[in-house]
């Protein structure tokens, strides 16, 4: 089927809000090239479970598509129109399985050496959309906080090397009560700006005491879901003919109830956690990967105003000879996790800077329980070092305008 043949009844399998928004925009959707439309439907079919920021972004995009003149439409999609697809892709049920279609499309683009052309067209489209439908101004500048190194007694590792050029590096931070100071700061912002899913606390281990105004996700709390997922994956790979692509499809079709996540009353957050575990590579195994990927996805999708990400020790990767000896106990690797967290903090900052209001946003990373921190913000001099005694509360005051 081609996009021009779409009818409202084709979307009868969509959740209610998704069906509504798609059928209301059917005229604009019918004009899209087949290599584009399923990528948009992949977002739309999840509309009922999306964060408000994502819903608004999708609505802005659809409104923009409705407003394009035929000439503009031709300009916007000229690059995509050159992409050659196969009859098999045209016959695929891309309406009801847009995610699987996009996976097959990706494989087709690589195989036929059209990946670069598609990538170029997608970037041009994204730039045009950004200019035509800019995001709304923020009520308050964003603040990102990363806490790394939990459980490390001492380290000579030079931390925050990738971040230092962008802000002030503090070497004499009083660590006492530091985590609580940061969580109190986030709670105060959540109370002052009570916007759904705007203030997050992600913990790679056991979460500390936090204000319920914060949206919280933790590796520890998800242990039952991780175990359930591991069991399901193990069972699936034992099926005859199971390959990586089939396994990915199976995982993509999992619902929160399959992992016991339906016990979470917030269906949107339950779906978010499901996707972090099923779509994130390594999130099921390493807590540091979980924290970084969950933060990336929360930033990309929910676009929070406040986010605290705390990295905890991950399990140690057992070397081959330990596997051979049959050693089974799980040990932690705090030192390796510090390295992971250091890079994770850098990625958290990069991902925050990809969002609107980047010039006004602030970022702090702290070596938990120790004296080192980095602060980045419009009021912070770049590439500076402060050896003066201070604490996180003071750094927050200096950094966040």
Judged by CB under 8 A, which stretch of 1-9, 183-191, 193-201, 284-292 contacts another protein?
284-292
Q: How many residues bind another protein (CB under 8 A)?
A: 56
- x/- letters, 321..340, toward another protein (CB under 8 A): x-xxxx------x-xxxxxx
Residue 107 sits in the site that holds another protein (CB under 8 A): yes
Cβ closest to another protein, residue 59 vs residue 103? 103
End-to-end CA, the chain: 53
Residue 235 sits in the site that holds another protein (CB under 8 A): no
Residue 250 sits in the site that holds another protein (CB under 8 A): no
Q: How many residues does the chain have?
A: 401
Cβ closest to another protein, residue 320 vs residue 388? 320
Residue 174 CB, shortest distance to another protein, in Å, is: 28
Residue 286 CB, shortest distance to another protein, in Å, is: 5
Number of Cβ atoms within 10 Å of the Cβ of 139? 10
Do the beta carbons of residue 18 and residue 50 sit within 8 Å? no
Residues paired with residue 376 on neighbouring β-strands, in sequence order: 363
Residue 165 sits in the site that holds another protein (CB under 8 A): no
CA dist 398 → 282, 356, 393 (Å) = 36, 22, 9
Residue 275 sits in the site that holds another protein (CB under 8 A): no
CA dist 76 → 28, 39, 51, 95, 127 (Å) = 13, 16, 27, 23, 10
Residue 348 CB, shortest distance to another protein, in Å, is: 11
CA distance 160 to 167: 10
Residue 283 sits in the site that holds another protein (CB under 8 A): yes
CA distance 96 to 106: 18
Residue 344 sits in the site that holds another protein (CB under 8 A): yes
Cβ closest to another protein, residue 167 vs residue 204? 204
Residue 203 sits in the site that holds another protein (CB under 8 A): no
Residue 369 CB, shortest distance to another protein, in Å, is: 19
**What residues make contact with another protein under the rule CB under 8 A?**
107, 110-117, 119-120, 161, 233-234, 237, 242-245, 247-248, 280-283, 285-286, 288-289, 292-293, 296, 314, 317, 319-321, 323-326, 333, 335-340, 342-344, 346-347, 350-351, 354
């Amino acid at each position: 089927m081609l996009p021009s043949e779409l009818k409202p009844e084709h979307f009868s399998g969509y959740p209610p809000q998704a069906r509504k928004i798609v059928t209301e925009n059917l005229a604009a959707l019918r004009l899209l090239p087949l290599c584009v439309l399923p990528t948009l439907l992949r977002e739309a079919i999840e509309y009922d479970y999306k964060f408000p920021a994502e819903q608004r972004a999708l609505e802005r995009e659809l409104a923009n598509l409705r407003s394009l003149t035929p000439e503009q439409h031709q300009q916007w999609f000229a690059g995509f129109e050159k992409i050659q697809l196969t009859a098999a892709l045209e016959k695929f049920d891309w309406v009801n399985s847009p995610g699987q279609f996009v996976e097959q499309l990706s494989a087709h683009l690589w195989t036929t050496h059209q990946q670069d052309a598609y990538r170029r067209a997608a970037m041009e489209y994204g730039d045009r959309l950004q200019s035509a439908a800019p995001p709304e101004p923020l009520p308050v500048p964003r603040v990102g906080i990363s806490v790394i190194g939990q459980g490390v007694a001492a380290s000579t590792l030079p931390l925050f090397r990738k971040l230092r050029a962008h802000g002030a590096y503090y070497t004499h931070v009083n660590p006492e009560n530091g985590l609580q100071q940061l969580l109190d700061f986030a709670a105060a912002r959540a109370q002052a700006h009570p916007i759904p899913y705007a203030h997050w606390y992600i913990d790679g281990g056991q979460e500390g005491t936090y204000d319920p105004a914060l949206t919280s996700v933790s590796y520890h709390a998800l242990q039952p879901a991780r175990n359930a997922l591991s069991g399901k994956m193990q069972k699936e790979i034992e099926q005859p003919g199971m390959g990586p692509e089939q396994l990915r499809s199976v995982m993509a079709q999992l619902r929160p109830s399959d992992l016991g996540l339906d016990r979470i009353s917030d269906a949107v957050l339950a779906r978010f956690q499901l996707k972090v575990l099923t779509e994130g590579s390594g999130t099921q195994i390493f807590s540091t990967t979980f924290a970084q990927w969950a933060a990336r996805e929360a930033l990309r999708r929910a676009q929070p105003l406040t986010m605290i990400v705390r990295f905890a020790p991950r399990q140690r990767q057992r070397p081959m000879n330990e596997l051979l000896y049959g050693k089974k106990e799980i040990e932690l690797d705090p030192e390796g996790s510090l390295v992971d967290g250091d890079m994770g903090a850098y990625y958290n900052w990069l991902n925050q800077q990809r969002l609107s209001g980047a010039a006004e946003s602030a970022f702090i990373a702290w070596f938990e329980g120790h004296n080192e921190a980095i602060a980045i913000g419009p009021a912070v001099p770049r590439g500076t070092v402060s050896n003066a005694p201070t604490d996180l509360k003071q750094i927050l005051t200096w950094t966040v305008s």
